[in-house]
Amino acid sequence: MKQRHLLLRYIVIEGYRYARQTFANCLKRLHLLKRKPHYHPPLEFFRQYILHLMRIRRLWAITSDLPPYCAAREGPGSQALQIMRTISFARAFGLTYLHSPFSTIYYPDEPRPEWPAVWEKVFNLGAGETPCDGLKSGVVYNTYTLANLDLCFGWRDRKKQLDDQFKALIPEFRRKYYLNKSRRTTGELTVAINIRRGEVSASENAFMYTANDKILRIVNGVKSILETWAVPFNMKIYGQGKATDFPELSPLGAESFLGADPVWTMQELIEADILIMAKSCFSYYAGLISDGIKIFESDGWPRIDNVFIPPFMWELFLELDDWLPCQEDGSVDRAAFDRQLALLLQAKKKAETGELTRR
Protein backbone atom coordinates (compact mmCIF):
# COMPACT_ATOMS: atom_id res chain seq x y z
CA MET A 1 0.00 0.00 0.00
CA LYS A 2 2.86 2.38 0.78
CA GLN A 3 4.40 1.75 -2.63
CA ARG A 4 1.05 2.30 -4.35
CA HIS A 5 0.64 5.57 -2.48
CA LEU A 6 4.13 6.68 -3.53
CA LEU A 7 3.44 5.68 -7.13
CA LEU A 8 0.14 7.60 -7.18
CA ARG A 9 1.89 10.63 -5.70
CA TYR A 10 4.60 10.35 -8.36
CA ILE A 11 2.02 10.19 -11.18
CA VAL A 12 0.12 13.24 -9.88
CA ILE A 13 3.20 15.40 -9.34
CA GLU A 14 4.98 14.40 -12.53
CA GLY A 15 1.71 14.66 -14.45
CA TYR A 16 1.38 18.28 -13.33
CA ARG A 17 4.98 19.02 -14.30
CA TYR A 18 4.49 17.27 -17.64
CA ALA A 19 1.37 19.34 -18.36
CA ARG A 20 3.24 22.56 -17.60
CA GLN A 21 6.14 21.52 -19.84
CA THR A 22 3.73 20.56 -22.61
CA PHE A 23 2.09 23.99 -22.41
CA ALA A 24 5.52 25.64 -22.56
CA ASN A 25 6.41 23.55 -25.60
CA CYS A 26 3.19 24.64 -27.31
CA LEU A 27 4.22 28.27 -26.81
CA LYS A 28 7.60 27.49 -28.33
CA ARG A 29 5.96 25.91 -31.35
CA LEU A 30 3.92 29.07 -31.77
CA HIS A 31 7.19 31.02 -31.85
CA LEU A 32 6.30 32.96 -28.74
CA LEU A 33 9.62 31.77 -27.33
CA LYS A 34 12.64 31.34 -29.55
CA ARG A 35 13.75 28.00 -28.17
CA LYS A 36 13.32 24.46 -29.32
CA PRO A 37 10.66 22.43 -27.51
CA HIS A 38 12.01 19.71 -25.25
CA TYR A 39 11.29 17.58 -22.17
CA HIS A 40 13.74 17.03 -19.36
CA PRO A 41 14.73 13.32 -18.98
CA PRO A 42 12.44 12.71 -15.95
CA LEU A 43 9.44 14.06 -17.87
CA GLU A 44 10.35 12.11 -21.00
CA PHE A 45 10.46 8.97 -18.86
CA PHE A 46 7.10 9.89 -17.29
CA ARG A 47 5.53 10.04 -20.77
CA GLN A 48 7.05 6.65 -21.62
CA TYR A 49 5.85 5.17 -18.35
CA ILE A 50 2.25 6.34 -18.85
CA LEU A 51 2.21 4.83 -22.33
CA HIS A 52 3.60 1.65 -20.77
CA LEU A 53 0.82 1.55 -18.14
CA MET A 54 -1.81 2.12 -20.81
CA ARG A 55 -0.31 -0.74 -22.86
CA ILE A 56 0.10 1.59 -25.82
CA ARG A 57 3.89 1.29 -26.04
CA ARG A 58 5.55 -1.19 -23.73
CA LEU A 59 8.95 -0.46 -22.24
CA TRP A 60 11.24 -3.30 -23.29
CA ALA A 61 14.78 -1.97 -23.06
CA ILE A 62 17.00 0.41 -21.10
CA THR A 63 20.28 2.17 -21.84
CA SER A 64 22.58 4.49 -19.93
CA ASP A 65 23.15 7.58 -22.03
CA LEU A 66 23.98 10.70 -20.06
CA PRO A 67 23.00 14.06 -21.54
CA PRO A 68 25.93 16.42 -22.18
CA TYR A 69 25.26 18.54 -19.09
CA CYS A 70 25.66 15.40 -16.92
CA ALA A 71 28.52 13.70 -18.77
CA ALA A 72 30.55 16.91 -18.91
CA ARG A 73 31.04 16.83 -15.14
CA GLU A 74 31.29 13.10 -14.48
CA GLY A 75 34.53 11.11 -14.57
CA PRO A 76 35.14 7.59 -15.93
CA GLY A 77 34.45 5.78 -12.66
CA SER A 78 31.12 7.50 -12.07
CA GLN A 79 29.90 6.87 -15.61
CA ALA A 80 31.07 3.25 -15.58
CA LEU A 81 29.14 2.63 -12.36
CA GLN A 82 26.06 4.23 -13.91
CA ILE A 83 26.25 1.74 -16.79
CA MET A 84 26.86 -1.16 -14.41
CA ARG A 85 23.81 -0.19 -12.34
CA THR A 86 21.74 0.07 -15.50
CA ILE A 87 22.83 -3.41 -16.62
CA SER A 88 21.99 -4.75 -13.16
CA PHE A 89 18.55 -3.13 -13.18
CA ALA A 90 17.85 -4.47 -16.66
CA ARG A 91 18.66 -8.01 -15.56
CA ALA A 92 16.58 -7.68 -12.39
CA PHE A 93 13.47 -6.44 -14.16
CA GLY A 94 13.83 -8.47 -17.34
CA LEU A 95 14.55 -5.55 -19.65
CA THR A 96 17.00 -5.73 -22.56
CA TYR A 97 20.13 -3.71 -21.91
CA LEU A 98 21.23 -1.64 -24.92
CA HIS A 99 24.74 -0.25 -24.74
CA SER A 100 25.46 3.42 -25.45
CA PRO A 101 29.19 4.25 -25.56
CA PHE A 102 30.62 7.12 -23.53
CA SER A 103 30.07 10.50 -25.21
CA THR A 104 32.04 12.77 -22.87
CA ILE A 105 34.43 12.03 -20.00
CA TYR A 106 35.29 14.65 -17.42
CA TYR A 107 38.83 14.57 -16.10
CA PRO A 108 40.00 17.86 -14.53
CA ASP A 109 43.76 17.41 -14.83
CA GLU A 110 44.01 16.28 -18.43
CA PRO A 111 40.94 16.74 -20.65
CA ARG A 112 41.26 14.97 -23.99
CA PRO A 113 38.76 14.50 -26.83
CA GLU A 114 39.78 10.84 -27.12
CA TRP A 115 38.95 9.99 -23.50
CA PRO A 116 35.49 8.49 -24.26
CA ALA A 117 36.94 5.95 -26.74
CA VAL A 118 39.90 5.22 -24.45
CA TRP A 119 37.75 4.48 -21.40
CA GLU A 120 35.28 2.50 -23.49
CA LYS A 121 38.16 0.07 -24.20
CA VAL A 122 39.28 0.09 -20.58
CA PHE A 123 35.93 -0.96 -19.11
CA ASN A 124 34.59 -3.07 -22.02
CA LEU A 125 31.09 -2.77 -20.58
CA GLY A 126 29.54 -2.99 -24.03
CA ALA A 127 31.19 -6.34 -24.79
CA GLY A 128 28.53 -8.91 -25.62
CA GLU A 129 25.72 -6.35 -25.29
CA THR A 130 23.35 -5.10 -27.99
CA PRO A 131 24.24 -1.60 -29.27
CA CYS A 132 21.59 1.06 -28.71
CA ASP A 133 22.08 2.68 -32.15
CA GLY A 134 19.70 5.52 -31.32
CA LEU A 135 16.63 3.35 -30.70
CA LYS A 136 13.86 5.34 -29.00
CA SER A 137 10.59 3.43 -29.05
CA GLY A 138 10.09 1.60 -25.75
CA VAL A 139 13.64 2.37 -24.59
CA VAL A 140 14.35 4.05 -21.23
CA TYR A 141 17.30 6.44 -21.41
CA ASN A 142 18.67 6.15 -17.91
CA THR A 143 20.29 9.29 -16.47
CA TYR A 144 21.28 10.45 -13.01
CA THR A 145 17.98 12.35 -12.85
CA LEU A 146 15.69 9.31 -13.11
CA ALA A 147 15.16 8.88 -9.39
CA ASN A 148 11.93 6.84 -9.67
CA LEU A 149 12.87 3.92 -11.89
CA ASP A 150 12.69 1.45 -9.02
CA LEU A 151 9.34 2.85 -7.89
CA CYS A 152 7.73 2.70 -11.33
CA PHE A 153 8.90 -0.86 -11.92
CA GLY A 154 7.83 -2.06 -8.47
CA TRP A 155 11.27 -2.38 -6.88
CA ARG A 156 11.22 0.46 -4.31
CA ASP A 157 10.84 -2.01 -1.42
CA ARG A 158 13.24 -4.59 -2.89
CA LYS A 159 16.51 -2.77 -2.41
CA LYS A 160 18.33 -5.78 -1.03
CA GLN A 161 17.42 -7.79 -4.12
CA LEU A 162 18.83 -5.03 -6.31
CA ASP A 163 21.99 -5.01 -4.21
CA ASP A 164 22.33 -8.78 -4.50
CA GLN A 165 21.73 -8.61 -8.26
CA PHE A 166 24.53 -6.06 -8.62
CA LYS A 167 26.92 -8.11 -6.49
CA ALA A 168 26.18 -11.23 -8.55
CA LEU A 169 27.23 -9.38 -11.72
CA ILE A 170 30.66 -8.31 -10.42
CA PRO A 171 32.43 -11.42 -11.86
CA GLU A 172 30.92 -10.56 -15.25
CA PHE A 173 32.13 -6.96 -15.03
CA ARG A 174 35.58 -8.26 -14.04
CA ARG A 175 35.58 -10.63 -17.03
CA LYS A 176 34.67 -7.77 -19.35
CA TYR A 177 37.53 -5.65 -17.99
CA TYR A 178 40.10 -8.41 -18.62
CA LEU A 179 38.93 -9.22 -22.16
CA ASN A 180 41.81 -7.19 -23.62
CA LYS A 181 44.23 -7.29 -20.69
CA SER A 182 46.44 -9.84 -18.94
CA ARG A 183 46.66 -10.20 -15.20
CA ARG A 184 50.08 -9.38 -13.79
CA THR A 185 52.03 -11.14 -11.08
CA THR A 186 54.75 -9.74 -8.82
CA GLY A 187 57.23 -11.35 -6.47
CA GLU A 188 56.44 -9.01 -3.59
CA LEU A 189 53.19 -7.63 -2.28
CA THR A 190 52.09 -4.32 -3.74
CA VAL A 191 50.14 -1.86 -1.62
CA ALA A 192 48.31 0.86 -3.60
CA ILE A 193 47.21 3.95 -1.66
CA ASN A 194 44.64 6.00 -3.55
CA ILE A 195 44.26 9.61 -2.35
CA ARG A 196 41.44 11.92 -3.52
CA ARG A 197 42.42 15.56 -3.94
CA GLY A 198 42.04 18.11 -6.75
CA GLU A 199 38.42 19.26 -6.53
CA VAL A 200 38.16 17.61 -3.11
CA SER A 201 39.46 19.26 0.05
CA ALA A 202 38.57 19.78 3.70
CA SER A 203 36.36 22.71 2.66
CA GLU A 204 35.12 21.61 -0.79
CA ASN A 205 33.31 18.29 -1.36
CA ALA A 206 34.46 17.37 2.14
CA PHE A 207 32.38 14.16 2.20
CA MET A 208 34.90 12.71 -0.29
CA TYR A 209 37.95 14.00 1.62
CA THR A 210 40.29 11.98 3.84
CA ALA A 211 42.81 13.94 5.88
CA ASN A 212 46.53 13.13 5.61
CA ASP A 213 46.81 12.08 9.25
CA LYS A 214 43.99 9.55 8.83
CA ILE A 215 45.58 8.13 5.68
CA LEU A 216 48.81 7.78 7.65
CA ARG A 217 47.04 5.84 10.42
CA ILE A 218 45.43 3.49 7.90
CA VAL A 219 48.68 2.83 6.04
CA ASN A 220 50.65 2.35 9.25
CA GLY A 221 48.08 -0.19 10.39
CA VAL A 222 48.49 -2.20 7.19
CA LYS A 223 52.26 -1.82 7.29
CA SER A 224 52.39 -3.11 10.86
CA ILE A 225 50.47 -6.28 9.92
CA LEU A 226 52.66 -6.96 6.89
CA GLU A 227 55.80 -6.50 8.95
CA THR A 228 54.44 -9.00 11.47
CA TRP A 229 54.03 -11.51 8.63
CA ALA A 230 57.59 -10.72 7.52
CA VAL A 231 56.63 -10.61 3.84
CA PRO A 232 58.33 -8.29 1.32
CA PHE A 233 56.11 -5.46 0.14
CA ASN A 234 56.22 -2.05 -1.52
CA MET A 235 53.84 0.87 -1.15
CA LYS A 236 52.80 3.31 -3.87
CA ILE A 237 50.66 6.43 -3.66
CA TYR A 238 48.31 7.33 -6.52
CA GLY A 239 46.20 10.45 -6.82
CA GLN A 240 46.23 14.15 -7.52
CA GLY A 241 48.33 16.96 -6.11
CA LYS A 242 52.04 17.27 -5.32
CA ALA A 243 54.28 15.37 -2.93
CA THR A 244 54.53 18.52 -0.79
CA ASP A 245 50.78 18.24 -0.16
CA PHE A 246 51.39 15.09 1.90
CA PRO A 247 54.30 15.81 4.27
CA GLU A 248 52.82 13.44 6.86
CA LEU A 249 53.26 10.50 4.47
CA SER A 250 56.95 11.03 3.68
CA PRO A 251 58.17 8.77 6.57
CA LEU A 252 56.39 5.83 4.92
CA GLY A 253 58.94 5.70 2.12
CA ALA A 254 56.17 5.07 -0.40
CA GLU A 255 56.76 5.84 -4.07
CA SER A 256 54.44 8.58 -5.34
CA PHE A 257 52.66 8.66 -8.70
CA LEU A 258 50.67 11.87 -8.42
CA GLY A 259 48.95 13.21 -11.50
CA ALA A 260 49.92 10.10 -13.49
CA ASP A 261 48.01 8.84 -16.54
CA PRO A 262 44.54 7.89 -15.22
CA VAL A 263 44.22 4.75 -17.35
CA TRP A 264 47.56 3.45 -16.06
CA THR A 265 46.56 4.48 -12.53
CA MET A 266 43.32 2.52 -12.79
CA GLN A 267 45.23 -0.59 -13.85
CA GLU A 268 47.68 -0.14 -10.97
CA LEU A 269 44.86 0.12 -8.43
CA ILE A 270 43.10 -2.95 -9.80
CA GLU A 271 46.26 -5.06 -9.98
CA ALA A 272 47.52 -4.13 -6.48
CA ASP A 273 47.59 -6.94 -3.93
CA ILE A 274 46.26 -4.54 -1.29
CA LEU A 275 44.19 -1.52 -2.25
CA ILE A 276 43.59 1.28 0.24
CA MET A 277 40.66 3.01 -1.40
CA ALA A 278 39.79 6.68 -1.67
CA LYS A 279 36.23 7.88 -1.39
CA SER A 280 35.61 8.20 -5.11
CA CYS A 281 33.85 6.39 -7.95
CA PHE A 282 37.23 5.92 -9.64
CA SER A 283 38.59 4.07 -6.61
CA TYR A 284 35.32 2.23 -6.06
CA TYR A 285 35.32 0.77 -9.57
CA ALA A 286 38.91 -0.39 -9.04
CA GLY A 287 37.82 -2.06 -5.82
CA LEU A 288 35.00 -3.91 -7.58
CA ILE A 289 37.29 -5.31 -10.27
CA SER A 290 40.29 -5.99 -8.02
CA ASP A 291 40.69 -9.48 -6.61
CA GLY A 292 43.15 -8.30 -3.98
CA ILE A 293 42.51 -7.12 -0.42
CA LYS A 294 40.35 -3.98 -0.33
CA ILE A 295 40.35 -1.54 2.60
CA PHE A 296 37.84 1.30 2.71
CA GLU A 297 36.49 3.90 5.11
CA SER A 298 33.11 2.59 6.20
CA ASP A 299 32.21 5.78 8.06
CA GLY A 300 32.63 8.21 5.23
CA TRP A 301 30.88 7.01 2.05
CA PRO A 302 27.92 9.10 0.87
CA ARG A 303 24.60 7.39 1.50
CA ILE A 304 21.00 8.19 0.64
CA ASP A 305 18.66 5.22 0.91
CA ASN A 306 15.86 3.95 -1.29
CA VAL A 307 16.69 5.60 -4.61
CA PHE A 308 18.11 3.68 -7.54
CA ILE A 309 20.33 6.00 -9.57
CA PRO A 310 23.94 6.78 -8.51
CA PRO A 311 25.90 8.69 -7.52
CA PHE A 312 23.85 11.62 -6.24
CA MET A 313 20.61 9.96 -5.17
CA TRP A 314 21.35 6.37 -4.28
CA GLU A 315 23.43 4.36 -1.87
CA LEU A 316 26.15 3.95 -4.47
CA PHE A 317 28.88 2.44 -2.35
CA LEU A 318 27.81 -1.03 -1.31
CA GLU A 319 30.00 -2.68 1.26
CA LEU A 320 30.93 -6.03 -0.25
CA ASP A 321 31.38 -9.01 2.01
CA ASP A 322 35.13 -9.37 1.49
CA TRP A 323 35.94 -5.66 1.84
CA LEU A 324 37.66 -4.61 5.07
CA PRO A 325 36.34 -1.45 6.72
CA CYS A 326 38.87 0.60 8.64
CA GLN A 327 38.07 2.46 11.82
CA GLU A 328 38.83 6.09 12.67
CA ASP A 329 42.15 5.06 14.20
CA GLY A 330 43.12 3.31 10.94
CA SER A 331 42.73 -0.21 12.30
CA VAL A 332 41.05 -3.09 10.46
CA ASP A 333 39.70 -6.44 11.59
CA ARG A 334 43.01 -8.22 12.15
CA ALA A 335 41.57 -11.73 11.95
CA ALA A 336 39.77 -10.99 8.66
CA PHE A 337 42.90 -9.34 7.22
CA ASP A 338 45.06 -12.31 8.23
CA ARG A 339 42.66 -14.75 6.54
CA GLN A 340 42.66 -12.79 3.29
CA LEU A 341 46.42 -12.29 3.42
CA ALA A 342 47.00 -16.02 3.87
CA LEU A 343 44.87 -16.76 0.81
CA LEU A 344 46.64 -14.04 -1.15
CA LEU A 345 50.12 -15.37 -0.33
CA GLN A 346 49.03 -18.89 -1.18
CA ALA A 347 47.71 -17.71 -4.56
CA LYS A 348 50.92 -15.81 -5.32
CA LYS A 349 52.98 -18.86 -4.49
CA LYS A 350 50.92 -21.00 -6.86
CA ALA A 351 51.20 -18.34 -9.54
CA GLU A 352 54.98 -18.44 -9.30
CA THR A 353 54.93 -22.17 -9.95
CA GLY A 354 52.53 -21.80 -12.87
CA GLU A 355 49.60 -23.57 -11.20
CA LEU A 356 47.51 -20.42 -10.94
CA THR A 357 47.94 -16.96 -12.42
CA ARG A 358 46.04 -15.19 -9.66
CA ARG A 359 43.34 -16.06 -7.18
CA quadruple 173, 175, 181, 187: dihedral positive or negative?
Answer: positive
- In b/e form, how buried is each residue of 2-32, taking b as 16+ CB within 10 angstroms? eeeeebeebbeebeeebeebeebbeeeeeee
Highest-confidence range of 30-44, 297-311, 328-342, by mean pLDDT?
Answer: 328-342
Question: In the predicted model, what is the mean pLDDT of residues 37-52?
Answer: 87
- In b/e form, how buried is each residue of 258-270, taking b as 16+ CB within 10 angstroms? bbeebeebbbbbb
In the chain, where are the structural domains located? 2-179, 184-352
Q: For position 263, what pLDDT does the model report?
A: 94
Question: In the predicted model, what is the mean pLDDT of residues 32-48?
Answer: 78
For the CA atoms of 231, 234, 239, 242, the dihedral, rounded to the nearest 10 degrees, stands at: 140
Interatomic CA distance for residues 314 and 196, integer angstroms: 21
pLDDT tens sequence across 73-93: 788 998 999 899 899 999 988
**Residue 263: DSSP 8-state:** H
Q: For position 47, what pLDDT does the model report?
A: 93
pLDDT tens sequence across 230-244: 999 999 999 888 878
pLDDT tens sequence across 173-215: 999 999 999 887 777 899 999 998 877 766 676 677 788 888 9
Q: For position 288, what pLDDT does the model report?
A: 94
Q: For position 264, what pLDDT does the model report?
A: 95
Residue 340's pLDDT band, with cuts at 50, 70 and 90, is: very high
Q: For position 358, what pLDDT does the model report?
A: 44
**Class of the domain covering 184-352:** alpha beta
pLDDT of 316 above 80:
no
Q: For position 300, what pLDDT does the model report?
A: 52
Give the chain's mean pLDDT.
Answer: 84
Q: For position 114, what pLDDT does the model report?
A: 87
Query: 10 Å Cβ neighbour count for 59?
Result: 19
pTM equals 0.87
pLDDT tens sequence across 257-307: 998 999 999 999 999 999 999 988 899 999 999 999 999 887 655 444 433
In the chain, the percentage of residues whose pLDDT exceeds 70 is 85
**When comparing pLDDT for 329 and 19, which is higher?**
19
Average the pLDDT over each of 51-55, 121-125, 152-156 and give the range with the smallest value.
152-156
Q: For position 8, what pLDDT does the model report?
A: 93
pLDDT of 352 above 90:
no
**Helices H / strands E in the chain, number of each:** 11, 10
pLDDT of 317 above 70:
no
Question: In the predicted model, what is the mean pLDDT of residues 340-350?
Answer: 91
